[in-house]
Amino acid sequence: MNVTERFLKYVSFDTQSDENSETCPSTEKQKLLGAFLVEDMKAIGITDAHMDENGYVYGSVPGTVEGPVIGLIAHMDTSPDCSGKDIRPRIVEYSGGDLVLNETQNIVMKARDYPSLERNVGKHLIVTDGTTLLGADDKAGVAEILTAVEELLAEGGPRVPLRIGFTPDEEVGRGADRFDVKGFGADFAYTADGGTLGELEYENFNAAAATVVLHGVSIHPGSAKGKMINAMQLAVDFHNMLPAQERPEHTEGYEGFSMLHGMEGDVESATLRYIIRDHDRMKFEQKKDRFQRIAAYLNEQFGEGSVTLTIKDSYYNMKEKILPVMHVVERAKAAMTAAGMDPVTVPIRGGTDGARLSFEGLPCPNLCTGGENYHGRYEYIPVEDMERCVETLKHIARP
């Protein structure tokens, strides 16, 4: 199969992960794609391909020459932010202007809102019908890795040993939780989990999740004076004490943020769920400290126990682990250049499995896959860019 055929097959699997699940993988349906990938891997010559009990898929490709053992990693799950069920992809030769995704429902990708379209005029874009995400994050990475391996094996010639790994649950921050770094046996690795063609990333956010539970006192509103504590109002007060300028919609580049991504409640109890992000470790700790100070203030005002705060770190900036081994980044730059790209290093405004894996002893920068507008109905990926990413992976594997 070529990379487009492979990608279109993979996106037919619904593999959304679930942050509220405590199982691994968080959704059993991820294993359906995992099992299919094992068979695909065996069909192209990865004889030891297998899936473990946690839904992680592994395989190896022997080298024909001595060299570093290089890992290639992508994730199988898609974001819970938008439906990944019954994806209806189609390929459009894009000639410019607005792109109608669904005429019946009047879903249009407007060129003025999505400037990335302009640089993709003349390419063949894989899009959805506007009712689901596409799943290029990260099934494009999976398809590109296996297509690169298939072509390397068919072409013969020199290549270093490769290790292949596909993870579940990256989108809910758990992709590296049960990754077998020691058994993987790579000297370093790359995640194929980026976006725009040419981007190479080895800096990412420090990340944490915060859960704020507000406890109120309910009483008839007619006799509430001096007695009612409305947990929902406490939640509003808490949120409004966070700086508005540090919300995602007001930040870019290296600017961090705190984002409210879940809320529920009534008068007696309310819950707010946040993600906290910053590239700078000191600013990251300051953001977490602000949450603590707001909780302490509200407890002082309304009584101890009115606010319960839990903060859990998710991952840290991989930069400190990559700087001592910059030859890994230089290898990727050389491969991208050989594939006809103009590589540019950019900070990830998010995270990848590579961040956690780098801290576990497996240096792991992130490579572009060519996709745009991830996690939503306007997600798309150019066929030509996927093909260029396949070539990059092949160059990485060559001595």
pLDDT, tens digit (0-9, with 9 covering 90-100), for 285-311:
999 999 999 999 999 999 999 999 999
pLDDT-based confidence at residue 390 (cuts at 50, 70, 90):
very high
Q: What is the pLDDT of residue 351?
A: 76
Query: Cis ω on the peptide bond leading into residue 138 (within 30° of 0)?
Result: yes
DSSP tag of 255 = -
Mean pLDDT of 331-358: 93
* pLDDT digits 0-9 by tens, 143-166: 999 999 999 999 999 999 999 999
203 included as an active-site residue: no
Q: Judging by beta carbons within 10 Å of its beta carbon (0-12, 13-18, 19+), is residue 324 exposed, middle or buried?
A: exposed
Q: Which residues contact 141 (CB under 8 A, 6 or more apart)?
A: 74, 75, 191, 192, 193, 367, 369
Q: What is the pLDDT of residue 345?
A: 95
Contact 383, 126 (CB under 8 A): yes
pLDDT-based confidence at residue 209 (cuts at 50, 70, 90):
very high
pTM of the model: 0.88
Mean pLDDT of 322-329: 97
Examine the pLDDT at 338 and tell me if it is beyond 80: yes
Average pLDDT across the chain, whole number? 96
* pLDDT digits 0-9 by tens, 18-53: 988 999 999 999 999 999 999 999 999 999 999 999
Q: What is the pLDDT of residue 173?
A: 86
Examine the pLDDT at 352 and tell me if it is beyond 90: no
Q: Which residues contact 5 (CB under 8 A, 6 or more apart)?
A: none
pLDDT-based confidence at residue 116 (cuts at 50, 70, 90):
very high
In angstroms, what CA-CA distances link 155 with 42, 69, 146, 394? 17, 20, 14, 11
Residue position matching structure tokens 């070529």: 2
Q: Closest by alpha carbon to 382, among 73, 91, 26, 158?
A: 91
Q: What are phi and psi of 390, to 5 degrees?
A: -60, -45
From 14, 40, 77, 193, active-site residue: 77
Helix (H, G, I), strand (E, B) or coil at 365: coil
Q: What is the pLDDT of residue 285?
A: 98
Run of H or E including 75: strand 70-75
From 144, 170, 199, 353, active-site residue: 170
* pLDDT digits 0-9 by tens, 231-287: 999 999 999 999 999 999 999 999 999 999 999 999 999 999 999 999 999 999 999
Q: What are phi and psi of 274, to 5 degrees?
A: -125, 155
Where exactly does CATH 3.30.70.360 map onto the chain?
206-315
Q: Which CATH class is domain 206-315?
A: alpha beta
Helix, strand, coil percentages (3-state) for the chain, rounded to 5, are 35, 25, 40
Q: Which tokens sit at 291?
A: 């949450």
384 included as an active-site residue: no
Q: What is the pLDDT of residue 332?
A: 98
Examine the pLDDT at 185 and tell me if it is beyond 90: yes
Interstrand relation of 199-201 and 206-215 (parallel, antiparallel or unpaired): unpaired
Mean pLDDT of 189-212: 96
Q: What is the pLDDT of residue 348?
A: 87
Where exactly does CATH 3.40.630.10 map onto the chain?
3-204+317-397
Q: How far apart are the first and last CA of the chain?
A: 25
Q: What is the pLDDT of residue 19?
A: 87
Q: What is the pLDDT of residue 224?
A: 86
90-93 sheet: strands from edge to edge: 90-93, 124-127, 381-382
Q: According to CATH, what is the number of the domain 3-204+317-397?
A: 3.40.630.10
